[in-house]
Amino acid sequence: MEGHFLTDRGQVRNHNEDSGGLFYNKEQQLIAVIADGMGGHQAGDVASRLATELVRDKWQQASQLQTPGAIETWLKAAIVDINQSLYEHSLDNKECKGMGTTIVIAVCTKEFITIAHVGDSRCYLLNDNGFNQITEDHSLVNELVRSGQITEVDAEQHPRKNILLKAIGTEQQVSEDVMTVDWEKGNRLLLCSDGLSNKLNDTELASFTQESNDLKEIGQGMINLANERGGEDNISLILIQHDSSAVVGENR
């Protein structure tokens, strides 16, 4: 597998509250994570950084995870622990009161991908069935779309678009979505924060992801376009291709 993590402060924010990376465990299995922090002054980047570091540290010690069921169980337990750690940190450090983060995590094996997420950071898969979002945003606007109160077109410009129904660290308990999907050689996976998905629609994301350029160049092209369109938010993404055995890329 080949993978790259890219992150950009954007054109407006004075610091980057996104974090993420690509990490291996003892058995050389790959995990990818994107976290988009929120909170008071500097608290968002604390939340996202802590979440990423906890995923990394837990994964580097993980072993004997060969089946979808075992990985799903591991991810659920990891998110419970990470949520509790962030929640307690916010209680113990007044400057971090109310902090939280979205998270999307993908464990990539040769046969399947297992994804866990909380919030509105997304995961997309490009395969023989096309380019499809395989996570569902935990947001107020998405719930309005699901219930038929507004259309997807309305959602794009909705004034409450950024209101989340779930996040890591904001409450003592959190429920995550976990799923496993098959993938094959040549398929590509895209994880991203809403700084990207709010600026590029699915058709544009699909067009970039299908390009024959190298993954880092594709990712940078997405970031450049998001910045050209205002770049009001931090922009982070991970692109992974089911191909070679090595994974390279920048971690933050």
Neighbour order of strands in the sheet with 235-241? 2-8, 235-241, 188-192, 122-127, 130-133
Delimit the domains of the chain by residue range: 2-241
Predicted model pTM: 0.92
Q: What is the pLDDT of residue 21?
A: 98
Instruction: List, for residues 24-74, the tens digit of each pLDDT value.
Output: 998 999 999 999 999 765 799 999 999 999 999 999 999 889 999 999 999
Q: Is there a contact between 160 and 141 (Cβ–Cβ < 8 Å)?
A: yes
Three-class SS of residue 140?
A: helix
Amino acid at 116: A
CB 52 within 8 A of CB 33: yes
In 25-147, the DSSP E strands lie at 30-38, 100-108, 112-118, 122-127, 130-133
When pLDDT is averaged across residues 165-171 and rounded to a whole number, the result is 94
- Distance from chain centroid for Cα 101: 10
pLDDT band at 252 (very low <50, low <70, confident <90, very high): very low
Determine the Cα–Cα distance for residues 56 and 71; give it in Å rounded to an integer.
15
**How would CATH label the architecture of 2-241?**
4-Layer Sandwich (3.60)
Q: State residue 39's pLDDT score.
A: 78
CA 205 to mean position of chain CA atoms: 15
DSSP code of 71? H
Tens digit of each residue's pLDDT (9 = 90 or more) over 186-222: 999 999 999 999 999 999 999 999 998 899 999 999 9
Q: Is pLDDT of 246 > 70?
A: no
